[in-house]
Amino acid sequence: MTETLQPIKPGRLMSLDVFRGLTIAAMLLVNNAGDWGHIWGPLEHAEWHGCTATDLIFPFFLFIMGVAMQFSFAGRLEKPGGKIDLIGQICRRTFIIYILGIILALIIWPSYLGHFRMYGVLERIAFCYFFASFIMLYTGVRGQVFFFLLLMAVYYIILKFIPMPGQMAGGLERYKNIVDYIDTGIFGNLNYEWDAGLKMGHDPEGLLSTIPSICTTLAGGLCGFWLRRKEKGDFEKVAGMSAIGVLLIILGKLLKHDIPMNKNLWTPSYVIYTAGAALLCLSVCYWLIDIKGWRAWAKPFLYYGTNAIAAYFGASLMALIIVMVRVTGDGGKVMRLKTYLFTHYYKSWMPGIFGDYATSAAYGASFVVLWCIITWILYRKKVFIKI
C-alpha cells in the first residue's frame, strides 16, 4: 500500500473537516429541538422504517471517521514506534470515547430517561473505531472489502432467517425482531426504550446492530483508500466517488424492497444507501473546497470539524445540564431551565411570526451558533482537543 498510496499532509483535506463539521452541526440542530411536539419532518428521525435527512447524520459521522482513519494511520505508521504505538493509541482513544459516552449516560439517567442506558452514540463510535481500526491495520483494501461483505452478509442472514421466539423469520417490527430480542436478553431494561408490558427493550445503538455500523466505518475507509491513490487525479477521484455514490443509492433503494431501510436496526439497505449519500456529499465538498478552492463559505464548519468530538460532547453535556437544572418561573412555579428559556425567549414571541415548528428549530439553531462561536475561539487559539 505504501508504494501506491500517499500519506496525508497537514491541512490537505479541508473538505473532510468541513464535511465532519457539517455533520456535527446537523447533530446539534436535530438533538436540541425546543418543542419535541413540533419538529419539521427533515429534522426528525423516521418513526421506524424509512430514512429522513436526520437519519443520515450518524452514518455520515461513522463514514467520515473511516475516511480519516486511512489518512491518520498512514502518518502514524511512519513515525517511530510504528504499529505498536498506533495500537496503544487506538486502545486509548476507544477507552476515552467510551467513557465520555458513559458520562453522558450517567447524566441522562436522573435527568429524564429514568434508568441507566448501556449503549449510546459515543459508545457505538468507540466500538466502530476499535474494530474497524484493526481491520484496516492488518488488512489491505481487499481484506477491508472482504470484512465489509462478510459482516453485511452475517447481519443480513441474522435479520432474514433467524426469528425471535414466537415470531416469523424476517420480522423487523419494534420489539418483535431478533435484534431487540438479543439486546433485551443481554441488557434487559437498560436499553434506551423499555416496554414493561411486553418486557422487551429496544436501543437504536444496541449491541447486535453495531455489526453493520462497523461496515459503515469500513465503507469510509475504502473511500479514504481511493482518495489516497496518488496516481489518480482530483477530478478522477470526484468522478469515482460520485459514480459509486449514485450506484449505492440506487442499490439501497432496490434492496429496501427485500429488507427495509431502518436506522434503529441499521439494516443492510440503510448501510448501502447512507454510504452512497455520504460519498456524494463528500465528493461535492472535495470538488468545491479542495479542487475549486471555494472555502470562505465553509469556515464555520471547519471550526466544528477540527474539534468534532469536543463540540458534540460539550453541546450534549450543556443540553443535559439545562434539562436537569430547575428554576422558579412566573407565579413561583418550579420548572426545568430548558422550559424556562424556551418559554421566555422563544415561545413568547416567535410562534406568531414564524410558527411553532420554526420556533422549535430556532432553539436547536441557537446551539449550533453558540458552539460555532466556541469552536471558532478554539480554532483561533489553535486549540484542537484530540482524544
Residue 76, CA distances (Å) to 10, 63, 123, 133 in order: 13, 20, 24, 13
Nine-digit cell string for 231: 496516481
Predicted local distance difference test score (pLDDT) of residue 12: 59
For the question of whether the overall pTM of this predicted structure is more than 0.85, the answer is: yes
Cα separation of 209 and 179, whole Å? 7
Predicted local distance difference test score (pLDDT) of residue 10: 43
Predicted local distance difference test score (pLDDT) of residue 1: 34
**CA angle 276-280-285, nearest 5°?**
145
Burial 229-243 (b: 16+ CB within 10 A, else e): eeeeeeeebbebbbe
Residue 229's SS3 state is strand
Predicted local distance difference test score (pLDDT) of residue 3: 36
Predicted local distance difference test score (pLDDT) of residue 83: 85
Predicted local distance difference test score (pLDDT) of residue 2: 35
**Residue 162 neighbours by CB distance under 10 Å:** 13
| Per-residue pLDDT tens digits of the chain, which is 387 residues long | 333 444 444 445 899 999 999 999 999 999 999 999 999 988 999 999 999 999 999 999 999 999 999 988 887 777 777 788 899 999 999 999 999 999 999 888 876 677 888 888 999 999 999 999 999 999 999 999 999 999 999 999 999 999 999 888 888 999 999 999 999 999 988 888 988 888 999 999 999 999 999 999 999 999 999 998 888 888 999 999 999 999 999 999 999 999 999 999 999 999 999 999 999 999 999 999 999 999 999 999 999 999 999 999 999 999 999 988 889 877 778 889 999 999 999 999 999 999 999 999 999 999 999 999 999 999 999 988 887
As a residue count, the chain comes to: 387
* Three-class SS of 313-378: HHHHHHHHHHHHCEEECHHHCEEEHHHHHHHHHCCCCCHHHHCHHHHHHHHHHHHHHHHHHHHHHH
Tell me the DSSP string of 121-160: HHHHHHHHHHHHHHHHHH--HHHHHHHHHHHHHHHHHHHH
Q: Grid coordinates 445540564 are at which residue?
A: 321
**CA angle 187-190-191, nearest 5°?**
85
Nine-digit cell string for 222: 475504502
303 burial level (CB within 10 Å; 0-12, 13-18, 19+): buried
Which residue type is seen at 138?
Y
